[in-house]
Structure 1
Amino acid sequence: MQALVFLSLVCVVVGMHVRVGPQMTDAQLEQTLADRPTMQRHIKCALGDGPCDALGRRLRTLAPLVIRGTCPQCSIEETRQIRRTLAFVQRNYPWDWAKIIKYAIVLSCVVVACFAQAQRPAVSDTALDDALQDKRFIQRQLKCALGEAPCDPIGKRLKTLAPLVLRGACPQCTPQETKQIQRTLSYVQRNFPQQWAKIVRQYAG
């Protein structure tokens, strides 16, 4: 799941998209991207480190739609411009991009975990044992966690909760879930050391 912060940044930059008036042209987008003070202002807004204008506040309310992958208000052209903006920020503002990523991971973990808390069924220890014995299943989940492959519902859940357990605090996890996730992480550490190293680099920071 992409985080709210990504879209806040992008929507502020390509903000004319949802207004009733004319859409932002590619030339206008390029002009905005080239204007360093404007970009820094938008990035501060996205990170919550600075004020947002009325349009920025409005666009933040639309962000969840785009995050879920359904934005009826967005045209193909707008989607292309949003992707262009994200790539530009990643290349030209790497320190800010790193902050956005860090903030986004925390925010998405909290939002998804809170939403899923009431809906997730308990996993028995026997089911966990069976899963850990299925090497292909584990590799699929590891690829999901590292963003190298699509996630199934189990992978999404692990991807959400495992980083919190890895950091030593998962307030929304039950004691049973915490124990099972710790056991799974220990299993991965012993049996998949290369993927474990990637997971630690990606999530433990």
Structure 2
Amino acid sequence: MKTFLCLCALVAIAFALPEDKYTDKYDKIDVDELLSNRRLLIPYIKCILDEGKCSADGRELKSHLEEALENDCAKCTDAQKKGTKKVIRHLINNEPDYWSQIVAKYDPEHKYSVKFEEEYKNH
């Protein structure tokens, strides 16, 4: 019986799931290209604001946005963390009206957005 329990424990350790992360399927998206082209950027913004159609990657982004803001992107890959910082900085400094709408929808109590605004405003 001891042998069986030890075997079960070893199997559980061997097949333990890695830390829960968001999919890395979209990590290769060129964030700089997206931010430099409003024709590409605005549909993503409209998607997360429920004002337009969502592409598959837009739906993925939208499904994790609130949790990522709340948890400082804890489940994000390194590429996602880097891209998130770029996007937030861009929205704060170049699309303040859209940033305000996103904050109103996903952080109405300004629990998380203030930190981003202090860190990224005009930087």
TM > 0.5 fold call: yes
Secondary structure at the counterpart of residue 81 of structure 2: helix
1:27-66 aligned at under 5 Å gives the runs none
Q: Deviation per CA, 1:17-40: give whole Å up to 9, x if none.
A: xxxxxxxxxxxxxxxxxxxxxxxx
1:23-172 aligned at under 5 Å gives the runs 117-118=22-23, 120-123=25-28, 127-172=30-75
TM-aligned CA deviation for residue 186 of structure 1: 1.4
Structure 2 gaps, min length 5 = 1-19, 109-123
Rounded to whole Å, the distance in 1 between the matches of 2:76 and 2:24 is 13
Aligned residue-pair number: 89
Q: State whether residues 26 and 57 of structure 2, in contact with CA within 8 Å, keep that contact through their aligned partners in structure 1.
A: no
Counterpart in the other structure of 1:192: 95
Q: Deviation per CA, 1:110-131: give whole Å up to 9, x if none.
A: xxxx7x934624225xx11111
TM-aligned CA deviation for residue 170 of structure 1: 2.8
Mark the CA change 1:164 to 1:178 in structure 2 (over 3 Å): closer, same or farther. Answer: farther
TM-aligned CA deviation for residue 152 of structure 1: 0.5
Q: Deviation per CA, 1:74-115: give whole Å up to 9, x if none.
A: xxxxxxxxxxxxxxxxxxxxxxxxxxxxxxxxxxxxxxxx7x
TM-aligned CA deviation for residue 188 of structure 1: 1.2
Aligned-CA RMSD value: 2.2
Mark the CA change 1:130 to 1:167 in structure 2 (over 3 Å): closer, same or farther. Answer: same
Q: Deviation per CA, 1:131-168: give whole Å up to 9, x if none.
A: 11111111111110100011002211221333333324
Counterpart in the other structure of 1:8: none
Structure 1 gaps, min length 5 = 1-113
Rounded to whole Å, the distance in 1 between the matches of 2:52 and 2:72 is 26
Q: Say which structure, 1 or 2, has more relative contact order (CA 8 Å, 6+ apart).
A: 2
- Which one of the candidate residues 138, 161, 176 is aligned to 2:79? 176
Give the alignment's TM-score, normalised by structure 1.
0.39
Secondary structure at the counterpart of residue 123 of structure 1: coil
Which structure has more helix as a fraction of its residues?
1
